[in-house]
Amino acid sequence: MKLLLRNIRLPLANFALEVDAEITHKVVALFGPSGSGKTSLLDLLAGLRRAPEAFISLDGQVLTDTAAGVEIPTRHRRIGYVPQDGALFPHLAVRENLLYGCNGKPPTDDGCSLTFEHVTEVLEIQPLLDRGIGRLSGGEKQRIALARALLSSPRLLLLDEPMTGLDFNLKGRVIEYLRRIRDEFKVPMVYVTHHLEEVFALCEELLVIERGRVVGHGLPQDLFVVSNEPTYRLKRANPE
């Protein structure tokens, strides 16, 4: 993956989001405290929000270029988005929620690994297909949300704090499913979190964001010292 984020400036309530970075690894984390601008950056990537100034390109395709008046609509970006709450439809069964991700028709095996059967098998949700959303656990809901996003055949998956509300054991299981997505389907991910355990367990590249600014960018092990507790501390600032 090559994701260019250039000259991004988006005014927020208490500060401006300002990002200039080039991302080259398959799984990148946006790490920082709550309210630092991470979700706002995801919204810009997905095309759900517009900035006065921004240039965004993914693998050579320009998605946003405010200087040139380019803004690719969300539906044409082929980007899957899993928000914090999963945004599942409570009035639909699991199967119908999943089919919504692929416009009502299961993808067929045309050489792509993102078929209905393959995705539901890898995420172990086939026994849940006829169940109502209200009868699912937190971990099951997250897997359904992930599967629905994958069934849209995305070239990039955006995950906004997918571990929110899960206990320790469930977090470990969801991390394993995310590793399967990374390794089995080869879909690049931008992963928002403020927990470094998740970064080290899953991500290859890291942007540290504080009050809208990138204060560190690199490999997780190069940016943070891990002690035995475990606790973490930023080794050095590396503004983009």
Domain ranges in the chain are 1-78+155-240, 87-154
What local confidence, expressed as pLDDT, does residue 239 receive?
41
What local confidence, expressed as pLDDT, does residue 184 receive?
82
The pTM assigned to this predicted structure is: 0.88
- Burial track 133-146 (b if 16+ CB lie within 10 A, e otherwise): beebeebbbbbbbb
DSSP strand pairing (3-11 vs 16-23)? antiparallel
What local confidence, expressed as pLDDT, does residue 152 receive?
87
Q: What is the DSSP secondary structure assignment for residue 72, as one 8-state letter?
A: -
> pLDDT of the chain along its 240 residues, tens only?
999 999 999 999 999 999 999 999 999 999 999 999 999 999 999 999 999 999 999 999 999 999 999 999 999 999 999 988 778 999 999 999 998 867 545 544 444 467 899 889 888 899 999 999 999 988 888 889 989 998 988 999 999 998 877 777 778 888 888 888 888 888 899 999 988 889 999 999 999 999 999 999 999 989 987 655 445 567 754 444
End-to-end CA distance of the chain: 19
The neighbour count for residue 73, using CB atoms within 10 Å, is 8
What local confidence, expressed as pLDDT, does residue 240 receive?
44
What local confidence, expressed as pLDDT, does residue 97 receive?
93
- 3-state secondary structure (DSSP) of residue 14: coil
* Phi-psi map region of 194: left, alpha, beta (phi>0 left; psi -120 to 50 alpha): alpha
What local confidence, expressed as pLDDT, does residue 86 receive?
72
Tell me which of 2.40.30.130, 3.40.1350.10, 3.40.50.300, 3.40.250.10 is the CATH number of domain 1-78+155-240: 3.40.50.300
